[in-house]
Amino acid sequence: MKLTYLIAGMIGGLLGASLWAAVTYFTNWEVGILAWLIGVLAGVGVRYAAKDALDDASGWTATAAALICVLLGKAAVVALILRVLTSSAGASIPEEVVVSYIADVVVRERLRAGVPVKWPEGVNPSEAAEQSDYPVDVWNEARSRWNQLPLIQQDRARSHPYLVDPEFVMNDLADEIVSELEAAGKTVTLTDEVRNAEPASGPERYPPEVWTEAESRWAAMTPPARQAREDLAIKLVQSGIAQYRQQVFMSAFTASFSFWDVLWFGLAGLSAWRIGSGRSGIADS
């Protein structure tokens, strides 16, 4: 297998893969038969590079280039489809949604204080995300807290709404304290969830001595130090999102294969071999 043949085949195959991905992007539909074109172009690329030295080896080189490019094209198609489906990700979050995060904090505070929260009829508290989902008094309190935030914090919260919950960053501090205690040989027991499968947070998750220390460290921080902790929390969240997207991509890529893909792969490979080996009857130009 000559490297120059493989490169020429890859160039042709990638042209076909690019066309396949472009058609998918603009039509939102995976046109599988275009995978066949990848094999044809890969074969043409090898045929051009080999000139009069066409043989079985050049044919298998074209086949390898075609199959590699089909896989790359398939991956690009899946990536573009996911991009279309998640095109709103990363956009500025509507103010109502951000205020709902504050409303969740208000609800949590009231429940911890033993104050009952009467939800509107038919609302699942774990799915509340807009004004009509919350009790009027809870929403009014959340809206008041939002209006009191400086504009710079409001802008930051529109991209990272979890920052409106002070316990979000403090939980990271508490985790550090837990690690320190465990490193010192102490056993620390954490609570994973509380009501209705709601993840435990703050004093409900950590032992009193851990959470008290976390509050103390947070209170002692200067504003720049607090923002640095928030920036670290944002990076951790973004890292988790990136890992999740990678998992979704791999799952979608695997699930995208079907019987038709076997057919297109076979046709692409066969076409590449016939053209690349000189068995196709296509005249050289």
Give, rounded to a whole angstrom, the gap between the first and last alpha carbons of the chain: 23
Residues composing the chain: 285
Q: Is pLDDT at 244 greater than 50 in this prediction? A: yes
Q: Which of 236, 257, 235, 254 is nearest to 246 (CA)?
A: 254
Q: Which amino acid type is present at position 13?
A: G
**Block residue for tokens 């472009």:** 22
pLDDT tens, residue by residue, 163-182 = 999 898 899 899 999 999 99
pLDDT band at 45 (very low <50, low <70, confident <90, very high): very high
Separation between Cα atoms, residue 75 and residue 65, nearest integer Å: 15
- Residue 140 pLDDT: 97
Cα separation, 60 vs 7, whole angstroms: 13
- Residue 282: pLDDT above 60? no
Average pLDDT value over all residues in the chain = 87
Instruction: Tell me what the mean pLDDT of segment 143-166 comes to.
Output: 92
User: What 3-state DSSP class applies to 123?
Assistant: coil
User: pLDDT tens for residues 173-230?
Assistant: 999 999 999 999 999 999 887 665 667 888 989 999 999 999 999 999 999 999 899 8
